Amino acid sequence: MKKIEAIVRPSKLEPLKDALMHLDLKGMTISEVRGCGNQHGWKEYYRGSEVAVNMLPKVKFELVVTDEMVKDTIDTIIETAKTGEVGDGKIFVYPIEDVIRIRTGESGYVAV
C-alpha cells in the first residue's frame, strides 16, 4: 500500500477529483493548502524577520491505494493536472504500514 500525495493548482480540484473517481479508488482526502516550490518566491523582512509573502494557494489530494493502483493513479494525476507552466505541482509517494477501518476493525488491504 502507498500513500500518494499530490499538490496541484486549485483550478484542477474538480477535474482531478472527477478523473480519480473514474479509477476504482476507495477513498480520498482533499485539503486547501498554501505552499511554494522551486521558485521560492519573494521574501520580505518584517520587523527584522524574513517572511515569505507568496505562499500560493494549492490543493492537496491524499490517496491511499494498493500497490497495483499506484501507476494508474500517478498517470491520471499527471494527465489531468499538467499545464506545462511552472507551479503545476508535485506528487509524493509514501509507503503505508497499515490501514484500519474503525467501524469493523479490519486492517491491511481489505481496509483500504
Ligand X SMILES: Nc1ncnc2c1ncn2[C@@H]1O[C@H](COP(=O)(O)OP(=O)(O)OP(=O)(O)O)[C@@H](O)[C@H]1O
Binding footprint of ligand X on the chain (CB under 6 A):
7, 35-39, 56, 58, 86-90
31: enclosing H helix or E strand: strand 29-35
If binding is defined by CB under 5 A, does position 38 make contact with Mg ion? yes
Least distance to Mg ion from the beta carbon of 36, Å? 7
Least distance to ligand X from the beta carbon of 106, Å? 32
Partner that binds at residue 72, options ligand X, Mg ion, none, CB closer than 5 to 8 Å by kind = none
Q: What is the DSSP string of 39-108?
A: T---EEEETTEEEE---EEEEEEEEEE-GGGHHHHHHHHHHHH--SSTT-EEEEEEE----B-TTT--BG
Q: Residue 28: how many CA atoms within 13 Å on its side-chain side?
A: 22
Please give the Cα distance from 68 to 64 (Å, whole number): 12
If binding is defined by CB under 5 A, does position 107 make contact with Mg ion? no
- DSSP one-letter code for 23: T
Partner that binds at residue 9, options Mg ion, ligand X, none, CB closer than 5 to 8 Å by kind = none
Tell which one of 53, 86, 102, 110 touches Mg ion (CB under 5 A): 86
Least distance to ligand X from the beta carbon of 38, Å? 3
Least distance to Mg ion from the beta carbon of 101, Å? 37
